[in-house]
Amino acid sequence: MERGARMRGVTVRQSKFGGHNEALWLGKTEVAHCHRGDVDVRLTRAVVRRLRDELRSDARIDLRGPGYDWILVRVRNTADVERALELLRHAIRAARNIAP
C-alpha cells in the first residue's frame, strides 16, 4: 500500500468495501485494497479481457470470474510486490480512462 500510495494521483482513504481499512483511490475510483497480505486490484473488465491469458498463466493471480473488474494478487515476496505494483499501474491507467 505504501508504495502504491506514492504513485501520481493516488490517495489513501477508507475502502468502500466492508472488511478493508485503507484503500488506494484515483479520484472517485477505488483501485486497490489489501487483506491478509494479498492485494485486490481493480483492473476493469476491459483490461482483464486484454490481459486474460497473461493473468491466467500467473499462479499468484486469482481471476474473480467473467465480467469482474477485480483480481486478487497473492503477495509473499519482493517479486510479488513488484507484480502487484505493475498491475496497479494498469488499474490507474484504466481508472484515468473512465474517470469523468
Q: At what angle do helices 45-56 and 78-98 cross, to 10 degrees?
A: 160
Q: What is the pLDDT of residue 72?
A: 95
Q: What is the pLDDT of residue 99?
A: 57
CA distances from 26 to 3, 62, 78, 96, 100 (A): 14, 23, 24, 8, 12
Q: What is the pLDDT of residue 71?
A: 95
Q: What is the pLDDT of residue 64?
A: 81
Q: What is the pLDDT of residue 5?
A: 85
Series of mean pLDDT values for 10-residue runs along the chain (100 residues):
86 83 92 90 93 95 86 95 95 82
Q: What is the pLDDT of residue 18?
A: 73
